[in-house]
A and B are shown apart, each in its own frame.
Chain A
Amino acid sequence: MTPDNPDFDPSSILTDNERQGLAAWEQRVQNTLDEASAGASDPAPAHESNAPEHSGGESAEPGEHTDSGGDPELPAHETTPQKPIPSNAVTPNYTPEMAACDRNIAAIFGGSGAVAAANGFEPPGLSSKYPGYRGDVVGANGQIYPGHLTYSAHIYGNTEGTGSGDLYVPAGGRRTSGPSPTDAVVTFYYSQLGSQSNVTLAVFHVGDYGISSAGTRVRIGTIGGRGGGEDPSYVHSHIEIYKGNVRLPALNARAGLRINPASVFCK
């Protein structure tokens, strides 16, 4: 069977992981089409329009971007991740509310096709060497260990983590530092951001940094800058939010200042 053969099945040359990623992508496209066709009552869904209604910054209203109603049409792969979930996971299930929040954050910070991971779960299409769950876990001693994605929301160009794309921040902020030399971190101060006031937004791994207005958002560069783009199967940027106007705090000071991005944009 060859590509010249009309019976050729292109998916036959894919690995299981690639096939899974392709299925996830196709499902996401279908979801978008379904929601677009049903969008008469919702003319500007966040994930289709890159959230033009999202003003962020000083004009942002708390909870403005919340899509709290969830999405009952979510495909099974979004609610049932295929990769192992540790038995001590605090949030072992990827709920429709989490998926809606991730879409919301992707629409705020990413361009067309962007995917966010801000609720403990990586996109399902990531390479098999990367985990599905990166949320909080409970240690044997009862202590809760924060997952990487709890305070660090990842933005990918696509669900496989292999693509770049435009990177945005909400309008209304003021750049206070960066890009830094090692991880291309750019910080912005906001008197109001989502549900929080007086916070610093740090965007890590900003590629091709450059500020340009984009409606109610500001384009700051591309996904997968220094520190986030070296592995072609894990191309991402990520955001962290700190209390106060603190630029980029020292590593050991961040823990006490961090705010969960999901709580800022989805609650």
Chain B
Amino acid sequence: MLKVLVNVVLLITVASTVETQQASTASSTNERPGNCNSNSAQLDRVRNEASAGIEKGEVIIAIARLGKGETSRELNGRRLYSVQAYLSKRAGLPEKAIVAGEGVRAEGYGRVELYVGGKLLNVLFAKRNEILCVECCGIDENYYLYRREKKRRPGSGMKLRS
């Protein structure tokens, strides 16, 4: 419940920030999806930049936004999961220091924006309808997070064998 509340508050309070910062985001970053290597390196940079503030109670805010041609909000969830998992399980940040939410649709590629101390620090772009790879190298395709997003056929839900 608390998580939902946090997300709702974030959507309200961050939406305007996200809108106003989009221009600077677009102009200040290379708007191309990175690969597993560059994504993990950039998340390490976010960890390094944020760690001092986190000790004082600050948080990293991760905002996922769908890109052009993307419809499934599940993509946002998966991308945020990858970022949160890396920052907490690989980069050693406390989970409570990472707050995730969804923003409005972005122009161009889908993305996860990372705010530290109220400022946009980094943007990770994702290829259309793909998640963010943050594991280097040789991702495990069997891990569901890394499977390609597939359209589900009607009535094709999982069936239990009798």
Contact = CB atoms under 8 A, between A and B. Distances in A.
Interface of A: 83-88, 122, 129-134, 137-140, 143, 145, 147-148, 152, 180, 182-183, 185, 204-205, 227-228, 230-231, 234, 236, 238, 248, 250-252
Nearest to A236: B37
A133 B93 CA distance: 15
Interface in B98-119: none
Contact of A145 (B29, B40, B90, B122): B90
Contacts of A138: 92
A251 B41 contact: no
B45 A88 contact: no
A130 B137 contact: no
25 contacts: A83-B45, A83-B48, A86-B52, A87-B51, A87-B52, A129-B29, A130-B41, A131-B41, A131-B45, A131-B47, A137-B91, A145-B90, A145-B92, A152-B136, A180-B138, A183-B137, A204-B137, A205-B37, A227-B35, A227-B137, A231-B32, A231-B37, A234-B38, A236-B37, A251-B138
Nearest to B95: A140
**Would you call the interface of chain A mostly helix, strand, loop, or mixed?**
loop
Closest 7 A/B residue pairs (Cβ): A145-B92, A131-B45, A86-B51, A139-B92, A183-B137, A137-B92, A131-B44
A145 B91 contact: yes
User: Max chain A CB contacts within 10 Å: which of B32, B37, B91?
Assistant: B37
Contacts of A132: 48
Interface in B21-63: 29, 32, 34-38, 40-42, 44-45, 47-49, 51-52, 55
Contacts of A251: 135, 138-140
B69 interface: no
A227 B37 contact: yes
A61 B48 CA distance: 38
Contacts of A185: 137-138
Please tell me the size bucket of the interface on B: 20 to 34
A182 B138 CA distance: 7
Given A145-B91, A152-B136, A251-B135, A86 B48 contact: yes
**Max chain B C-beta neighbours (<10 A), residue from A86, A138, A147, A238:** A86
A227 B44 contact: no
Among A131, A230, A252, the one with the most B-chain Cβ atoms within 10 Å of its Cβ is A131
Contacts of B91: 137, 145
A213 B54 CA distance: 51
Nearest to A250: B140
Contacts of A148: 40-41, 44, 136
A39 to B, nearest CB: 35
B48 A133 contact: yes
Contact of B42 (A130, A133, A230): A130
A97 to B, nearest CB: 22
